[in-house]
Amino acid sequence: MLLNEFLGFRLGLSFEKKYNFLVIKEVLENKDKYPIIYPYISEGVDYDDNDKVIKKAYDFGFFDCDDIDCAGADEALELNRAFNRVVLRDLVNKKLKVKSFSFGVDYLMNPSITGVQDPYLNYRAITYITITPSEKTIGMEIFNHNIVDGQRYGHLSSEYSGTTYYEDNRKVLEKVENEFIQNRIEDFVVQRFETNDLVNLETEIKGVKCYIHDVYCFRIGDNYLKFYTTERGFDPLGVFRMIAEQSLTDEQKKNDIPKQMGLYVG
């Protein structure tokens, strides 16, 4: 399976195929940054007579979602960091155009970051503010799980609440673009996303215990990038959270969902 296809399956992401080989080079040239996936990438490529990696479409057996022994969430998250670095470096050097931006808070059923790879089984709820050039949607979806003998078997039902506001958000998206251009991409990529943090981020949704983390999503060209973090405060990705927060009108601040997300809407 191609690396971008694997991330599409595991995390619902989308990257252009042209970035696959650039990501392979990124991993091979930065072994210390990718301790989990480096062995599988380095063993799965071919070299020419000058010991240079041959450029071609590599199909990695380990990154094959049909295999029970394939890569899991830890590998997917590390691979996602590699793609985010490579794709943003490339796009910032061109005319970067953000088609949509979303700040959200996800609610996991268990305090483990591995839960992000299967929302159907592992999510209690999602909340989000999604901004496009002409619309802003503030939404929340709560998942009621089918539980048999203490085991969860996916969603039994879901409850959705949300409002879409029709407005001109082009200047908001320009702010997002400028943050990518003006700041170090590395700072966004390395922000902490740790299982240990989730234990201290416990909350409840309708009496069910769950654990929260922030998520930032960007649609740029044909790419859909996602950043996960358990860190909130004066953090690098916080500039995007503030953009979402500051974009709220007085009417939108009355919506209960931003308060649920822990945004300052006073």
Per-residue model confidence as pLDDT tens digits over 139-172: 999 998 877 776 767 777 889 999 999 999 999 9
Per-residue pLDDT band at 193 (split at 50, 70, 90):
very high
Lowest mean pLDDT among 137-151, 178-192, 240-254: 137-151
Residue 67 has pLDDT above 70, yes or no: no
Mean pLDDT of 87-97: 92
User: Which sequence spans correspond to the domains of the chain?
Assistant: 3-92, 98-260
Cα–Cα separations (whole angstroms), residue 85 to 23, 61, 81, 186, 244: 9, 24, 6, 7, 23
Backbone angles phi and psi of 214, in degrees to 5? -90, 155
List, in sequence order, every beta strand (DSSP E) within 179-239.
Answer: 202-205, 208-220, 223-229
Task: Summarize the confidence of residues 243-257 as an average pLDDT.
Answer: 95
Dihedral of the CA atoms 210, 67, 227, 20 (nearest 10)?
180
* Mean of pLDDT values over 18-33: 97
At residue 22, the pLDDT reads: 97
Six-digit token pair at 110? 């268990």
- Residues 63, 6: Cα–Cα separation, whole Å: 6
- 17 token code pair: 């195929």
Closest CA to 175 of 239, 225, 229: 239
Give mean pLDDT, residues 248-258.
Answer: 95
- CATH code of 98-260, in short, is 3.30.1560
Confidence of residue 69 (pLDDT cuts 50, 70, 90): confident
Q: What is the mean pLDDT of the chain?
A: 93
Strand pairing category for 208-220 and 98-108: antiparallel
207 touches 66 (CB < 8 A): no
Could you tell me which of 98, 106, 159 has the C-alpha nearest to residue 131? 98
